[in-house]
């Protein structure tokens, strides 16, 4: 192997450098989410699904853990260790942490292939919120390139989600899709390979989790952690109670300072997340009023597609359907829709070049 690389002269290759690296790297599609990061490898599907958490030394900045192992440390670390969430509201909040996380996953994808150099150079398609600024987009590109990407393409998350679930975004028929992630809710009407109307709002899964923490604090005078609130949301979260469910949450009594348990009900969670859900439904309803008449008939036929982890909240699709008077459904495997869409674009360069974000980006 050493002899091969030492004798190789890139200048003598007939292939362009990018094509050369393409032979020795696995191109990837990445859903770099506030809550979770998913990596899709061309020809292999989704190979990484990890929480977007990183543990590092507070002073040394040495990386100690990434993903699930880092999330398990959340709230339990000594002062010398800090747990970082590299993204907030769908955008990079800590560049060094985002770079370290992307670099780790890119290397992990290539770790089992002994023929690939120590520094892989994949093409990367990344899903990003539609409402981020040019500066925020540049931060994502810079982090990916610093992590080893030879080329980086950014795609709006609702567009990637639509592609991921098999909707034909290139047709003139209108598509209405809502992607409810951890940091943002992405709402878009898509036609002819572009977003005709779109909204990106920062009312999503994280706000629901925070609302549960505040609700329990006010009603029961008990402080619970993020992980507990998230688990309650996943297990008994709903927007309308059909059958009461229960979740045993452990926290700290705010009056006595002692550990205590409380049995949360579906009604508790419904009341806690109601303000966030109302905001999301209101934005969907308002955007519906702006849909051009020519596209409205298409949307009426196809309905509203829901993707992202937030779409799994029990009763949400029915609530939206009741508000806007239109069929609303949750797509298959909604958690992976954006990652699958980014992955599919790796094999369709024509569509990728058509829908990728170019404003404020270098060619």
Q: What is the pLDDT of residues 70-110, one digit of tens each?
A: 999 998 899 999 999 999 988 899 999 999 999 999 989 88
Determine the average pLDDT of the residues in 182-196: 94
Determine the average pLDDT of the residues in 142-168: 94
**Distance in angstroms (rounded) separating the CA atoms of residues 154 and 32:** 11
**Distance in angstroms (rounded) separating the CA atoms of residues 194 and 356:** 10
What is the per-residue pLDDT for 314?
A: 95
Domain 168-203+274-331 in this protein, CATH class: alpha beta
User: What does pLDDT average to over the chain?
Assistant: 89
What is the per-residue pLDDT for 112?
A: 66
CA angle 273, 275, 278 (to 5 degrees): 105
- What element of type H or E holds 60? none
Minimal CA–CA distance to 158: which of 31, 321, 348? Answer: 31
pLDDT category, 18, cuts 50, 70, 90?
low
What is the per-residue pLDDT for 5?
A: 40
Please determine whether the domains at 15-159+339-355 and 168-203+274-331 fall in the same fold group of CATH: yes
**In which residue are the tokens 């290139």 written?**
170
Task: Using a cut of 0.75, tell me whether the model's pTM lies above it.
Answer: yes
SS3 288: helix
What is the per-residue pLDDT for 90?
A: 84
SS3 183: coil
pLDDT value at 20 more than 90: no
pLDDT value at 285 more than 80: yes
pLDDT value at 48 more than 80: yes
Q: pLDDT of 112-149, one tens digit each?
A: 665 555 567 899 999 999 888 899 999 999 999 999 89
Determine the average pLDDT of the residues in 160-179: 95
Q: Where are the domains of the chain?
A: 15-159+339-355, 168-203+274-331, 205-273
Percentage of the chain surpassing pLDDT 70? 90
The answer to whether domain 15-159+339-355 has CATH 3.30.1330.10 is no
What is the per-residue pLDDT for 23?
A: 54
**In which residue are the tokens 């409810």 written?**
180
**In which residue are the tokens 């990106």 written?**
200
pLDDT value at 16 more than 80: no
What is the per-residue pLDDT for 4?
A: 42
Domain 205-273 in this protein, CATH class: alpha beta
Give me the helices (H) in the chain, please: 2-7, 17-23, 68-72, 95-110, 134-146, 157-164, 205-220, 226-236, 266-288, 293-302, 316-324, 337-346, 349-355
Determine the average pLDDT of the residues in 29-53: 94
């Amino acid at each position: 192997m050493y002899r091969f690389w030492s004798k190789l002269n890139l200048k003598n290759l007939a292939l362009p450098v990018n094509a050369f690296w393409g032979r020795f790297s696995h191109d990837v599609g990445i859903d770099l989410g506030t809550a979770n990061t998913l990596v899709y490898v061309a020809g292999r599907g989704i190979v990484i699904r990890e929480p977007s958490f990183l543990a590092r030394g507070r002073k040394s900045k040495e990386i100690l853990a990434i993903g699930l192992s880092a999330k398990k440390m959340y709230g339990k670390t000594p002062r010398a260790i800090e747990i970082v969430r590299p993204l907030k509201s769908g955008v990079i909040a800590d560049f060094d942490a985002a770079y370290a996380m992307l670099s780790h996953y890119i290397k992990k994808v290539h770790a089992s292939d002994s023929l690939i150099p120590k520094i892989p150079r994949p093409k990367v398609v990344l899903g990003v919120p539609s409402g981020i600024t040019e500066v925020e987009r540049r931060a994502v590109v810079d982090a990916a390139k610093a992590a080893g990407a030879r080329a980086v393409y950014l795609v709006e998350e609702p567009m990637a989600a639509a592609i991921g679930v098999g909707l034909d975004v290139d047709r003139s028929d209108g598509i209405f899709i809502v992607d409810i992630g951890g940091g943002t809710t992405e709402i878009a009407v898509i036609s002819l390979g572009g977003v005709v109307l779109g909204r990106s709002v920062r009312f999503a899964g994280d706000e629901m989790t925070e609302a549960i923490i505040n609700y329990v604090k006010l009603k029961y005078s008990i402080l619970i952690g993020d992980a507990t609130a998230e688990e309650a949301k996943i297990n008994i979260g709903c927007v309308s109670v059909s059958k009461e469910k229960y979740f045993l949450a452990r926290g700290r009594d705010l009056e006595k300072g002692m550990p205590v348990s409380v049995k949360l009900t579906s009604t508790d969670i419904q009341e806690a997340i109601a303000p966030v859900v109302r905001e999301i439904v209101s934005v969907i309803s308002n955007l519906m009023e702006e849909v051009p008449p020519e596209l409205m008939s298409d949307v009426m036929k196809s309905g509203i597609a829901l993707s992202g982890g937030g779409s799994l909240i029990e009763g949400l699709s029915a609530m939206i359907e009741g508000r806007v008077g239109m069929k609303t459904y949750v797509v298959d495997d909604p958690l992976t829709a954006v990652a699958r869409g980014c992955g599919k674009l790796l094999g369709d360069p024509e569509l990728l070049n058509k829908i990728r974000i170019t404003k404020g980006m270098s060619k």
